[in-house]
Amino acid sequence: MGFAGRVCVVSGGATGMGRATVELLLERGARVALIDWTRQKAEAIASSEKFRAYVADVSNEDDVQAAFSAIDRDFGPIHGLFSNAGVARTEALIHEESAQTWDDIMAINLRGTFLVVREAMKRFVAQNEPAAIVCTSSCMAKLAIPGGTNAYTASKGAIEALVRQVAVDYASRRIRINAVAPGAIDTPLMWATTPVEQQAEMRKTIDTEVPLGKIGQPIDIAHCVAYLLSDEAAYVTGATFLIDGGVGAKMVLSV
């Protein structure tokens, strides 16, 4: 799964799964453009010939277009995209959910995915060469967790539907697109809606209930993303890879 001579773009790349993927791709020879909306984190990352960071809010069309234009200038043609930027917010049951909360989550998770994928696809089509995209979905695209994560769940289900559509539309051009659906992964986003005082107990619950007996790590996702972006996955498109330690295969009832 070597990436020598290839340029990959990673959105949401400053922390968590995105950061782990950036580091893995660099290790395997890629040149990487990281996009993140946290200016402090992006600007703190040292630039080099192989790696640069760009600040953009993926829900903002002008930001995304400007970031890709800068990547064109600094790196030239790109060959792979990991569309990973996403947010989670504290939500309510749907009869109490605010439209603003819904819109905020959809703007980043779904609109952001659309804008980033669209900009990459414009370049892939113009280059007329094989290319690959991976989008971050979630185990919650198919399995609901009680408590009202309406917008987050809906956004991730929509991402998987979008991946299938784009896969079919661009397969003849040899442009592949797939999704990864993480389960419980130890990232800042994982704990974004959990009060600090509850996190230790939640970790114990995860370690007990996940069939593989532990919470996942960002590198677990990065390995799958690298595979899907590589030539080893040349016959894989329109698929979603569930990476959840076996939770999705487990019967909920213990009887």
How far from 12 is each of 24, 87, 172, CA to CA, in Å? 15, 10, 29
Which 3 state secondary structure label does DSSP give 78? coil
What tokens does 177 get? 């697109």
Residue 43 has pLDDT above 80, yes or no: no
Residue 230 has pLDDT above 80, yes or no: yes
Q: CATH second-level architecture of 7-187+217-242?
A: 3-Layer(aba) Sandwich (3.40)
pLDDT digits (tens, 9 = 90+) for 159-172: 999 999 999 999 99
pLDDT at 141: 95
Where in the chain are the domains?
Answer: 7-187+217-242
* 26 or 148: which leads in pLDDT: 26
pLDDT at 255: 63
Residue 44 has pLDDT above 90, yes or no: no
pLDDT at 175: 98
Task: Find the helix or strand (DSSP H, E) in which 195 lies.
Answer: none
User: What are the residue numbers of the active site?
Assistant: 152
DSSP string, 15-67: SHHHHHHHHHHHHTT-EEEEEES-HHHHHHSPP-SSEEEEE--TT-HHHHHHH
pLDDT at 115: 98
Residue 221 has pLDDT above 90, yes or no: yes
How far from 106 is each of 39, 59, 72, 94, 193, CA to CA, in Å? 22, 9, 28, 15, 17
184's CB contacts (< 8 A; 6+ apart) are 190, 206, 210, 215, 216, 244, 245, 247
Q: What is the mean pLDDT of the chain?
A: 93
Longest dimension (CA), the chain: 60
Residue 217 has pLDDT above 80, yes or no: yes
The model's confidence at residue 213, banded by pLDDT at 50, 70 and 90, is very high
Distance CA 155, CA 140 (A): 10
The model's confidence at residue 189, banded by pLDDT at 50, 70 and 90, is confident
Backbone phi, then psi, for 157, in 5-degree steps? -65, -40
The model's confidence at residue 30, banded by pLDDT at 50, 70 and 90, is very high
